Amino acid sequence: MTGGRLFTVERQTIAPIPEDERHGTSRGLVAIWFGMNMTPLAVVTGATATTVLGLSLGWAIVAVLVGNMLGGIGMALHAAQGPRLGVPQMLQARGQFGAYGAAVIVLVALVMFVGYFSSNLVVAAGSVHQIAPGMDEVGTLLLCTAISLVVSVFGHDLVRRITAWSSYVVGALVLVAFVRLLSGGALGAVVHEGRFSASGFLGMLAIGVVWQLTYAPYVSDYSRYMPRDTGARGAFWGSYSGCVASSALLMVLGAAVGLASHGADTMSGLDELLGPLIGFVVLFGFALAATAGNSVNAYCSSLCALTLGETFRRGWVPGVRARLATTAVLHLVGLWIAVEAQSGFATAYFSFLSILLYVLIPWSAVNLVDYYLVRRGDYDVDAFFRADGGGYGRWNAGALLVFALGALLQIPFMMTNVYTGPIATALGGVDVAWLVGLAVSCVLYHQLARRRPALVRLQPTTAAETEVVS
């Protein structure tokens, strides 16, 4: 990839990527998704295993690995769709839910992306404040936002490359942190603390699964540039290996820090355990990585916003100026939420995001069943942009019904900061809502497509098959 391409403003928005602009490799996807998780947020999330859920380090590691490996399969199956269809992930939802029906899913994803953008800003600013207490917090947030905005303006290629660079830098710093923890003796003194509990183990496993599925709404935004005929397998394994390896690595680090710091604030505990010099370098690297990785959230949220706008202004093809204006507005919204992070509104908003994750699980189930088992990758992409939705219509009643049922049936099983369902309480706090939503939605949609194909607007298809991802 040439420097000229990196610093050329991307011309494509939500339209299918032309064949002559296709590029990218599996190795490139490994780098971007490895870098995407190199943030303090992943470390803080991993600390939950030992601080909140009370697991021993050994059981925390097992839960983290199993959860991320399972969730990564669903995430990577979405990534493999990008090369074949060549459009952003959320626009593909029109093939299952109809032109207007997909807008509901797109809106949920947009709110979630902006929320994660704000969360990363807050955590990045916290890392900076830990090593430089005298820095103005609002000024730090402004600086982090400005860096993300500049990267997002150039678009796809620069976002990918900056995130890949951060993966090498922070990956090295994480290894230094592990060596320091092991050699310093702090970890050895507490390695046997904590215990196994079914609720704690399954709770951390669920966190790993849902963490990976969080990326499902936008993984193919980065694989859509890959060659159509040869890219699906590389998109699957590149996304899977990069995302699972980095998230598991940083969550394990967080679990270790949480145990060794005896429940103190995770990032301040990491700083203290590493010592002044190493702590400064590692936390500064994390802050930079969070800022760089945030451009991924910002870029994908702009594609969602453009998809939403095009839904209600049919025939309009968003151009570069529309993407740039949307990107700027979304950065301002995310910055405002981050600045208000101490208010009750922001706390409620971030808690609301955890519920949105459950809402997206039935979307993922419908999408994967429809793509791999029902239509076998055979979609009329041009119909996604027609005013009447083409063969997919404006509303797909069957898919929307499955989506609603999949979301509602999770409520009794939910375990969140703002709500705990009665069945979750009866199970001792074990969170299986994601499993219920995924399984029920998969079975219902598959049966509906077989027995009542008119309800899911199945059209005559060719013999096209999806590429084998193995």
Amino acid at 157: D
Residue with tokens 């809402």: 359
Q: Which structure tokens are listed for 268?
A: 């301040």
pLDDT of 461: 43
467: phi then psi, degrees, rounded to nearest 5: -70, 140
Whether 182 contacts 44, CB under 8 Å? no
**Which residue, 66, 168, 6, 105, is CA-closest to 304?**
105
Q: Which structure tokens are listed for 406?
A: 């999949």
CA atoms within 13 A on the CB side of 464: 16
> What is the rounded distance in angstroms from the CA atom of residue 198 to the CA atom of residue 324?
48
Predicted model pTM: 0.87
SS3 415: strand
pLDDT of 464: 39
Q: CA 322 from chain center: how many Å?
A: 24
The 3-state secondary structure of 1-26 reads CCHHHHCCCCCCCCCCCCHHHCCCCH
Q: Which structure tokens are listed for 9?
A: 């403003």
Give the pLDDT means over successive 10-residue stretches in the chain (470 positions).
63 86 85 83 88 90 96 95 91 91 90 85 79 82 90 87 83 87 73 83 89 89 87 91 94 90 76 84 82 84 91 82 94 90 58 76 94 91 86 89 94 84 86 90 93 70 40
> What is the rounded distance in angstroms from the CA atom of residue 424 to the CA atom of residue 416?
10
> What is the rounded distance in angstroms from the CA atom of residue 396 to the CA atom of residue 344?
38
Q: Classify each residue of 49-74 as buried b or exposed e, where b means 16 or more C-beta atoms within 10 Å of its C-beta.
A: bbbebbbbbebbbbbbbbbbbbbbbb
Q: Classify each residue of 295-317 as buried b or exposed e, where b means 16 or more C-beta atoms within 10 Å of its C-beta.
A: bbbbbbbbbbbbbbebbeeeeee
> What is the rounded distance in angstroms from the CA atom of residue 29 to the CA atom of residue 243?
9
Whether 156 contacts 10, CB under 8 Å? yes
**Which residue, 66, 51, 67, 46, is CA-closest to 178?**
46
